[in-house]
Amino acid sequence: MTSEGATKRIPVTPEVWESLSKLKRPGQTYDSLLEEMIALKEEHDFLKHLEEIEKSGDFVSLDEAARELDIKEL
């Protein structure tokens, strides 16, 4: 919620409203549910990005990286 306590309306279909209602825990606000869903989506996107990096990246061991960077201790 904004610092002024303003609210916004988001039009949804009855089917989406019903799905949201089923996801919401007793006593949970829709604002809290949406915040939770956003956090989960952000985490999912981050993990997917890491998987893409892992598939296409060229990695070296920490020891090798330390030698290349002339780092004495890790």
pLDDT of residue 3: 55
- Inside any domain, residue 18: yes
Residue-wise pLDDT for 13-40, tens only, equals 999 999 999 999 999 999 999 999 999 9
- Inside any domain, residue 74: no
Residue-number span of the structural domain to which 39 is assigned? 14-68
Classify each residue of 28-55 as buried b or exposed e, where b means 16 or more C-beta atoms within 10 Å of its C-beta: eeeeeeeeeeeeeeeeeeeeeeeeeeee
Span 55-73, average pLDDT:
86
Cα 38 from Cα 32, distance rounded (Å): 10
Cα 28 from Cα 67, distance rounded (Å): 52
Number of compact structural domains in the chain: 1
pLDDT of residue 74: 59
- Inside any domain, residue 61: yes
pLDDT of residue 72: 81
Q: Could you tell me the pTM of the whole model? A: 0.66
- Inside any domain, residue 20: yes
Q: Is residue 66 exposed (0-12), middle (13-18) or buried (19+ Cβ within 10 Å)?
A: middle
